[in-house]
Chain A
């Protein structure tokens, strides 16, 4: 039996070292493209073992060395981090297969560079997931921004350069100007940045300033796309679809909400959140974001842009759960990280598959396509229904718990807004499905089959269904966060 320390190595090294092999094999397409897949399998295997260890009462840690005298570069898997880690490394397998199909089907240039930074981004996301203190989290948060930059600017056209400037400007600007000062503030006033169960601010931090600190955090973590810092996400959609799928629906944006949840759970602590009343403004900020972005999503005709705004909206569901900071709402947030990730990656896989086969990017052009690509649209429907929150699909759990949490905290207006938002979700996510299956065919559209882009979508759609019935391990993990010893 290998100890769990080795498993953290085993999970982190494949995405870190894969770029070297990708570079070595850059002239052999098959060998190069399989590096990512092999890496993802190893990494996922290790992540499962880490999670098992955690559920069985272990505490997987990896200490490297001290960065500063009182802070170390080390990793410690928290239950929250285990969920995020599972999500990233698990979906990386599907995305690795998918990107082979997509990049070849589309004849994209600079594929070697693409795979190198794709893999580095996963490394960044996993390091964020398992960071043991706020500084390490920040370091890899920024690492993730810069590792995804070459992917966003991949096409090197003027449009993508412009979009990537916005991407970098908002993400780096917010993290430098708000996130970093917030970290330094905590460091200075508490003396440590280590994540601890139940938070570290209790007793040492003046509750009067707590809302200011929290707002520095939530707006500083631009990756969570809380309005008005959400612009970068639609802009980032110029990237190739595998990037939008794994990174801008799962790894990067979830790294954002994950960081916020880490701050709420392990820096503030749910108790201090409620006693200091710092969550109040956040409840409203996230509710406004989730509602407004649903409204904007309806008006978007570009498939990826609509999905991007849907992501902005769903991220705010997660932040809302954290802001309420009750047991049920935290369960909702943590499970939505998983459920929305799997659901949204399905939708993006489908959008990319549609683009590779037919070059369609507009929703109004989808009419009648469903008969040519039935499997793709079945997967799309499953993903969409899950995000809306219809049982028996995974996403229904998180919506259920969020409503329960809101009801428990007697937030009636929030419940009404959530209901309206769900209606909007239903409209804008099912609209493409409806057009594809029930509108008249457009005969001029030709489609080419690229099976490698379709099967990953089906797999993740299947995963969506599976997660509804197999929710137990997830709840076990969440219980570790909420019911402290």
Chain B
């Protein structure tokens, strides 16, 4: 991918393949994506993403959240999706399919991360 086509800040190109599916606005939308995903895609996202979360936060922490540019905001959204996906891959493991059945009954009405997305009620 050429530099001008990069959708994430420099250094995070390994996460580019996950942008379309996992750079998601809204905590409830992130939860739903987790519940509607396949084990293999969760595993590949987590396995590549987990080591990039510390440097991503280090980068993003340098600016107030409302000043993040588009690429940085996309990276933030990926990091937030990894918060949900890590619970499926690292904690629930083979229990995730059964776990997801019950999670479908739960709705996130509001999260602090919704604030800058016009999703906060």
**Are A and B part of the same complex?**
no
Residues of A bordering B, CB below 8 Å? none
Residues of B bordering A, CB below 8 Å? none
